[in-house]
Amino acid sequence: MEIKRIKKLSEQVIRQIAAGEVVQRPSSALKELLENSLDAGSTQIKIHIRKGGMKMLRVIDNGCGIKVEDLPILCERFTTSKLRSYSDLQSVSTFGFRGEALSSISYVSHLTVTTQSRGSPLAYKAHYKDSKLVHPRSQQNSKKQEEPAPIPVAGIPGTQIEIENLFYNQPSRLRSLRNTNQEANQILHVVRCYSINNPQVTFIVTQDNKSLPLLHNKSSTGDQSFERIEEIYSLNSKKCLFNLQINTLINSTFRLKLNGSVSNVKYFKKQKEKAFKKQHFILFINKRLVENNQMKSQINKIYKQVLNTKGKPFIFFNLILPPECVDVNVHPTKKEVKFLNEDSIIEIINKKIQKLLSNELDLKTIEQEK
Ligand code: ADP
Ligand code: MG
C-alpha cells in the first residue's frame, strides 16, 4: 500500500467540519438562536420555519439587540459578549459563552442578521458567509469593489436572525435530512421545552403554507411551567402530574434546588392514548436543556417497580445547582453536562418520586377499603 503524506487541512475545511459538529440539524441551530434570544432578555420570541427549517429558519426577538459597531465581528469564531476570562466559566450564567454558534451557522448556511439595539434610532441588516460580513447575495457581483457593511433599515427593537439553505454546502448532510416533517417536529420539541422552562416568555412558532401556528404560548405570570405543560401536551396536569419541589443540601456541601412535574398514577390510565406511550423526559440543568440517560433510566425503573407499568412517565425537571458544580464546557453543543454528585442527586429525586407514588397508591387502597 502506498503511504500517503500527512498534510494540514485548509482553514476553510477545518471550520466547515467543526461547524457541522455544532449545528447538526435545524433544531440544533434553533436551540442556539433561542438561547441567544433568552440571553438578550427577550420576553417574546417568534419562530418561523419553511420546509422544517431547512429552507428557512427565522427567529425574531424583542431583546437588547446588537450594537452596530459589533456587527462586523459578530460571526467570527470566539467573539462573544458573555465571557472575558477562563475563570468566568466557573460562574457563567448565560447560555452562550464561547462565541461559536453564529460563526458555525455562517459556515453552513446563508445568514442574515437584522438588529436594533436599545437606544439606536435605526435597525441594521448584515449578511454573513463563512464568518465574514458579505454583500447581500443579489448584489455580490455588482458590489465586488466595495467593503461590505451593515445596511441601515427601518426596524423594531430586538434582533431577527434568518438562516437560509442550511447545509447548502454539505451534500451528505442534506441527504440525511430529507424528512422535513421530522425536522419540524424536532424544532417544535425544542421550542416546547424552552417554553415550559421559560413561562415568562411568549413563544410563537409558525410555518409556511399553514394558517394555524404550530405553537402559541402567551407569557404568564401564574405557575407557569405547570400551565405550559398542560397547554402543550393537552394534559390536565393537576390531575395527571405531581408537582415536585426539592430544596436540600447535598453531602452538606452544596444546595440542590429542583422544581418539576412528574406523572402520577392517573397519568398511566391515559396510556391507551397514543401520545402517552411516548417518553417525555425534559431536563434543564441551570436553565440549559440537557440529556442524562442515567437519570432517565433510573426514574423509569422506579415507575416500573412501584406501579408495575409498561408505560413511560412524563418527566420535567428544572434543576438548579451552584455553577461551580456543573461542568458546562464538555461538548460544543453543550448537550452533555457533567455535574458533581450525580449519583446522590439521582437517589434523592428517586426517593421523592417513590414516596409520592406510594402515598398515592396507599390513599387509593384506603379509599377502596372504606
Ligand atoms: P455566545 O452566545 O456563545 O456568546 P454566539 O455566536 O451565539 O456566541 O453569539 C455571539 C454574540 O452575538 C453574543 O455574545 C451576543 O453578544 C450576540 N448575539 C447573538 N444573538 C443575539 C440576540 N438574539 N440578541 C442580542 N445579542 C445577540
Ligand atoms: Mg449563543
Taking only the tens place, the pLDDT of each residue in 195-251 is 999 999 999 999 987 777 888 888 766 558 888 888 888 776 668 888 899 999 988
> Cα(33) to centroid of ligand 1, in Å?
8
Same domain as 141, residue 251: no
Is the minimum distance from the CB of 75 to ligand 1 under 6 angstroms? no
> Can you give the pLDDT at residue 76?
86
* In the predicted structure, residue 93 carries a pLDDT above the cut 70: no
**pTM score, two decimals?**
0.88
Identify the pLDDT of residue 36: 93
**Measuring from atom 5 of ligand 1, which residue has the nearest CA?**
99
Ligand nearest to the CA of residue 159, numbered in listed order: 1
Q: Are residues 52 and 31 in the same domain?
A: yes
User: 237 and 302: one domain?
Assistant: yes
> How far is 324 from 119, CA to CA, in rounded Å?
35
pLDDT, one tens digit per residue, over 174-188 is 999 989 999 999 999
End residue of a domain, out of 166, 187, 217: 217
pLDDT at 275 over 60: no
The pLDDT value recorded for residue 123 is 97
Say yes or no: 188 and 253 in one domain: no
Q: Are residues 181 and 270 in the same domain?
A: no
CA 128/CA 136 separation, integer angstroms:
9
Model confidence at 64: pLDDT above 80: yes
- 180 found inside a domain: yes
Average pLDDT over residues 158-170: 96
Q: Of residues 241 and 80, which shows the higher confidence score? A: 241
What pLDDT shows up at residue 160? 98
Indicate the residue among 182, 197, 217 that finishes a domain: 217
CB of residue 99 inside a 6 A radius of ligand 1: yes
User: Which residue's CA lies nearest to atom 19 of ligand 1?
Assistant: 36
Q: Quickly state the pLDDT bin for 166 (edges 50, 70, 90).
A: very high
Check pocket membership of 80 for ligand 1, CB cut-off 6 A: yes
In a domain, 204, yes or no: yes
Domain shared by 206 and 240, yes or no? no
Boundary-marking domain end, from 217, 236, 265: 217
User: Range of 341's domain?
Assistant: 227-369
Q: Are residues 283 and 349 in the same domain?
A: yes
One domain, residues 300 and 193: no
Ligand 1 atom closest to the CA of 79, numbered from 1: 10
| pLDDT at residue 129, as a whole number | 95
pLDDT higher than threshold 60 for residue 331: no
- The mean predicted confidence, pLDDT, of the chain is 86
Q: Are residues 157 and 238 in the same domain?
A: no
Q: Is 74 in the pocket of ligand 1 (CB under 6 A)?
A: yes
257 and 137 share one domain: no
Residue 340 burial (CB < 10 Å; 0-12/13-18/19+)? Answer: middle
Instruction: Give, for ligand 1, the residue of 28, 47, 80 to mutate: max count of ligand atoms closer than 8 Å to Cβ.
Output: 80
- Is residue 20 included in any domain, yes or no? yes
Asked if the model's pLDDT at residue 360 lies above 70, the reply is: yes
CA distances for 220 relative to 188, 204, 319, angstroms: 20, 14, 21
Q: Which atom of ligand 1 is nearest to the CA of 100?
A: 6
State mean pLDDT over 306-311: 82
Q: Which three cell numbers stand for residue 290?
A: 440537557
Average pLDDT score over residue span 20-24 = 85
Query: Residue 59 C-alpha to ligand 2 middle, in angstroms?
Result: 13
pLDDT in tens, 94-153: 665 567 889 999 999 999 999 999 889 999 999 999 999 999 988 877 777 788 999 999
Q: Residues 302, 354: contact at Cβ < 8 Å?
A: yes
Paired with 242 in beta bridges are: 262
Q: Is the pLDDT of residue 49 over 80?
A: yes
Per the structure, the count of domains in the chain is 2
CA distance 33 to 158: 13
pLDDT at 334 over 70: no
Q: CA 59, CA 34: separation in Å to the nearest integer?
A: 8
159 lines ligand 1 (CB under 6 A): yes
Pairing state between β 314-320 and 338-339: unpaired
